[in-house]
Amino acid sequence: MYHISVLTSRQDEDEFGERLRDIARVTYCPSMTEEEMAEAMEDAEIIICKHEPLRASLLEKLTDLKLIVILSTRSDSVDVAAAQRSGITVLNNTSYCVEDSADHTCAMILALLRQLPEYQSDISSHNRWQYGSVTWPIHRVQHNIIGLVGYGHVGRAVAKRMKVFGCHVQAYDPFVKEQVMRADQVQAVDFDKLLKTSDLISLHMPLDETTQYIFQDEQFEQMKRGAMFVNCCRGGLADEAALYHAVDGGHIRSAALDVLSMEHPGPMLLKMIARPEFLLTPNVSCHSVEADVQVRDDAERYIRQFLEGNRENLPRVSPHFVEEM
């Protein structure tokens, strides 16, 4: 039988031992030192992981390893180039949580457009039941220009949803052809125009050395006065301190964040929590009961296909892969 190692300390949630018992011995490997992990997975042919790091120094020690299955759209936790050098196939799940992330993003967009966080705060803090107690006016949803930075799987799903509300949607993505956006009735624009003309900007791009802190003081200053900002994509794309200052200074109306650069209680998070202009959720946009089931169903299917030799349509990650969000 094959040996499959699942990198998790939450064995009861994964069910791979039961799912794959007919073809493999499944073991669970919680986060340990690299030496301990190498020993625990010494003869593993397959690894299932999510965000656990698999670096070159570890992969070189796993001489029996043939396949890594990542339970995510992301692949930055795995040294894919090192895996390729060792003949290890790396798979991710490009369809995982697309609908969930788009739904969550649009819920946050609508909440900001209709000023739900501010009015809820006004009711609870001041016992006030009055339209107009919030500084900014409310415009009809369809009168807002939605700007998407990145037009991958989730960006396209967000555009589709917001167009149902009648919004004009524009997007910036240097890796997507203009005719693709045009076919979706989305206007392709450059980054500067998107900043200056969007009523609300939502991020949908990978996090790498070229996109880290792509939104800083300068970008927030270029945005329209009273514009709104949403990030349900990757922490580290926006400088939260710069965003806070833009909101505090009155240039940016409000912001909704599902991800942060540092996702633990810190001074900046506590400052944002105290402000009604910030709508915060703890990295839940990619989760639903259905998404969690689907990603495991897909992983099981990928593994069985790989072991049967049916590998043509598997979602392989190359060293030059750019995730689409």
Question: What does the angle CA 61 – CA 66 – CA 67 come to, to the nearest 5 degrees?
Answer: 110
Dump the DSSP string for 123-161. HHHH----TT-SSSPP--GGGSEEEEE--SHHHHHHHHH
Candidate CATH numbers 3.90.1150.10, 3.40.50.150, 3.30.1490.190, 3.40.50.720; the one for domain 98-280:
3.40.50.720
Which residues, in sequence order, are bridge partners of residue 203?
149, 231
Q: Cite the residue boundaries of each domain of the chain with CATH code 3.40.50.720.
A: 2-92+289-308, 98-280
- Give residue 13's pLDDT: 55
Contact assessment for residue 26 and residue 48, using Cβ atoms and an 8 Å cutoff: no
Contacts of 71 (CB under 8 A, 6+ apart): 48, 49, 50, 93, 96, 295, 296, 299
Under CATH, domain 2-92+289-308 is a member of which superfamily? NAD(P)-binding Rossmann-like Domain (3.40.50.720)
pLDDT tens track, the chain, 325 positions: 999 999 975 655 568 988 999 999 999 988 788 999 999 999 999 999 988 889 999 999 999 999 999 998 888 889 999 999 999 999 999 889 999 999 999 999 999 999 999 999 999 999 999 999 998 999 999 999 999 999 999 999 999 999 999 999 999 999 999 999 999 999 999 999 999 999 999 999 988 889 999 999 999 999 999 999 999 999 999 999 999 999 999 999 999 999 999 877 788 999 999 999 999 999 999 999 999 999 999 999 999 999 999 998 999 998 754 444 4
> CA 195, 99, 262: angle at the middle one, nearest 5?
60
